[in-house]
Amino acid sequence: MNSVRVRFAPSPTGYLHVGGLRTALYNYLFARKNNGKFILRIEDTDRNRYVEGAVEKLISSLKWCGLEYDEGPDVEGQYGPYMQSERLAMYKQHAQQLVDAGKAYYCFCTPERLEALREDQQRRKLPQTKYDKHCLSLNKKEIDEKLSSGIQHVIRLNVETDQKIIFDDIIRGKIEFESNNVDDQVLIKGDGYPTYHLANVVDDHLMEISHVIRGEEWLSSTPKHVLLYNFFGWEKPRFAHLPLLLNPDRSKLSKRQGDVAVEDYRNKGFLKDALVNFVALLGWNAGDDQEFYYIDELIQKFSLEKVNKSGAVFDLEKLNWLNAEHLRKKSNDELLKMLRVEILNSQFAIHNYPDEYLLRVIEAMKERVSFVYEYLTKSPYFFERPREYELASSEKNWKSETPSQITKLRDRFSTLQNPTKEDYENALKQLAAELNIGVGKLIHPLRLAVSGMSTGPGVYDILVILGKDEVTERIHSAVEKIR
């Protein structure tokens, strides 16, 4: 059995698109599952689209997601270099080989002639617009003259007419094209750089790529690649074209309708485990009911045969849910580390909370948060005294008799020695009984007094975490401040 070698081959646009993440992930899962190699190759053959620092950003996003590659720009391998811009000589040499064999030819047409040709074809309502092979008729002498005169030129693929181009896609099955619909694609551009089509075929062959797993947008140009493999006399890799990721309106996932960069989701507080888990399920399912996965389980269960054919809408609601699920599964120690980072980046950075204290907060809030930052936004009262009191709750629960009742409660609390949850609870219940009122008459104002809010963990848990002195202090100032 031939060894599995797959690659993720993005062009460095400045960030890692979530669709790109999904493609990278499937390549990674497939490689790991089959004891193969996962390679990162940068397709930077478009000089007009050069973006400073793009490769570094791409790599850092990929690594943040946990997708470690075996060979790449910064990981030594036997098949480098892994930046296409550093492989120009290879493309040139292979293009020349094709020219010598009559499978490709020099073209000296100007952009103006090409544009005019296209317009003419459109005006005549031809079924398709394609190059007219004008330069194919040039003789050797004419070509040599033009070449030595230094005039700009490209090299084009010489597509034969009336051929059937058939290939097998792992996900979609047999796919058939007519060569008459395939244009004489430019292989080497005027600036000497290769186009994607030439570069990806040459590299995939030289790098011994066994499976080309890429987005569906490449399906239509695969016949060009197949032709290239045939012309070179090379064995083709297996192809697998992945369904697209879509906006809620089912158009191709784009910036216009929300965040598309992995970095965006990272900044919003999503866990890499959740993002990876979510994106894995967009277009793939093991055939069972499992939805929660760690990457190791994905590796075990993944197979290309189970990848869907149709596009999947990127549904934030489900991502949110998965994030909460993954967050809740984290150990308290892991959460502590993450919470510390969150605090450092918040208005509470000036405070110094003991681990012991934060661990108790985590225990109390764990079931109530979907994001780490929510420890701060949903229970700010664990980090600072309430600055204000929720109006809806004070109007509902803070009656005219409340100040005196709650003050009595405070007095009871202050007599307790190292009170436990139960001690607080007993004290409150006893007072309620003595005052002949329901416990709710004390509990709700108490919650409001110590937290400023009406929601959160059980009040007694809050009291224990805050500690007696803090609690009595907060009750005191609440009595003064509310209303």
Closest CA to 23 of 326, 248, 304: 304
Question: Looking at residue 17, what DSSP letter applies?
Answer: B
CB of 447 to RNA, least distance (A): 5
Contact between residue 378 and residue 369 where contact means Cβ atoms under 8 Å apart: yes
Exactly one of 310, 400, 415, 418 binds RNA (CB under 7 A); which one? 310
Query: Could you say whether residue 461 binds RNA (CB under 7 A)?
Result: yes
AA letter at 305: E
Site map (CB under 7 A) of RNA, residues 85-104, x = contact: --------------------
CA distances from 122 to 29, 129, 336 (A): 45, 7, 64
Closest approach of Cβ 470 to RNA, in Å? 18
What is the Cα–Cα distance from 171 to 225, expressed in whole angstroms? 18
Positions 227 through 286 that interact with RNA (CB under 7 A):
243-244, 246, 248, 250-252, 281-285
Binding mask 183-222 vs RNA (x if CB under 7 A, - otherwise)? x--x--xxx-xxxx-------------------xxxxxx-
Instruction: Please tell me whether residue 431 binds RNA under the rule CB under 7 A.
Output: no
Q: Does 426 bind RNA (CB under 7 A)?
A: no
Q: What minimum distance in Å lies between the beta carbon of 68 and RNA?
A: 22
Cβ nearer to RNA, comparing 194 with 237: 194
Residues in 329-358 that interact with RNA by CB under 7 A? none
Residue 125 binds to RNA (criterion: CB under 7 A): yes
Minimum distance from CB of 444 to RNA (Å)?
6
Q: Which residue in 37, 444, 468, 474 binds RNA (CB under 7 A)?
A: 444
Residue 201 one-letter amino acid: V
Cβ proximity to RNA: between 211 and 224 the closer is: 224
Q: Which of 127, 150, 233, 354 binds RNA (CB under 7 A)?
A: 127
Residue placing its CB nearer to RNA in the complex, 102 or 248: 248
Q: Is 81 in the site for RNA (CB under 7 A)?
A: no
Span interacting with RNA, options 7-15, 58-66, 87-95, 202-210, rule CB under 7 A: 7-15
Element at 10 (helix H, strand E): none
- Answer yes or no whether residue 430 interacts with RNA by CB under 7 A: no
Pick one of 76, 289, 296, 480: the residue that binds RNA (CB under 7 A). Answer: 289
Distance of CA 135 to the CA centre of its chain: 45
In 416-483, which residue ranges form alpha helices assigned H by DSSP?
Answer: 421-435, 440-451, 459-466, 468-481
Catalytic residue among 252, 255, 268, 329: 255
- Residue 118 found at the interface with RNA (CB under 7 A): yes
Nearest to RNA of 252, 351 (CB atom): 252
Q: Establish if 323 lies at the interface with RNA (CB under 7 A).
A: no
Question: Nearest to residue 449, comparing CAs of 383, 408, 393?
Answer: 393
Nearer to RNA, 294 or 349 (CB): 294
Residue from 93, 96, 181, 420 touching RNA (CB under 7 A): that is: 181
- What DSSP string runs through 114-166? HHHHHHHHHHTT-S------GGGG--HHHHHHHHHTT---EEEE-PPSS-EEE
| Locus of tokens 């599964």 | 329
255 included as an active-site residue:
yes
- Smallest distance, Å, CB 350 to RNA? 27
Total site size for RNA, rule CB under 7 A: 86
Q: Which of 45, 61, 277, 472 binds RNA (CB under 7 A)?
A: 45
d(CA 310, CA 450): 53
Q: Which is nearer to RNA, 351 or 429 (CB)?
A: 429
Residue 405 in contact with RNA, rule: CB under 7 A: no
Which residues are registered as beta bridge partners of 83? 42
Nearest to RNA of 151, 341 (CB atom): 151
Decide if 84 contacts 41 (C-beta within 8 A). Answer: yes
Of 8-16, 92-100, 264-272, 383-391: span binding RNA (CB under 7 A): 8-16
Using a 10 angstrom Cβ sphere, with 0-12 exposed, 13-18 middle and 19 or more buried, the burial of residue 173 is exposed
Question: Which residue lies nearer to RNA by CB, 88 or 336?
Answer: 88
Q: Give residues with Cβ within 8 angstroms of 17, minimum separation 6.
A: 253, 260, 261, 262
Comparing C-alpha atoms, which of 13, 261, 380 is closest to residue 389? Answer: 380
Supply the minimum distance, in Å, between the C-beta of residue 477 and RNA. Answer: 20
Name the E strands within 284-338: 312-313
Q: Is 443 in the site for RNA (CB under 7 A)?
A: yes
Beta-carbon contacts of residue 158 (< 8 Å; ≥ 6 apart): 98, 102, 103, 104, 105, 133, 136, 184
Distances (CA, A) of 454 to 322, 372, 405, 429: 27, 21, 19, 20
Which residues are designated catalytic? 255
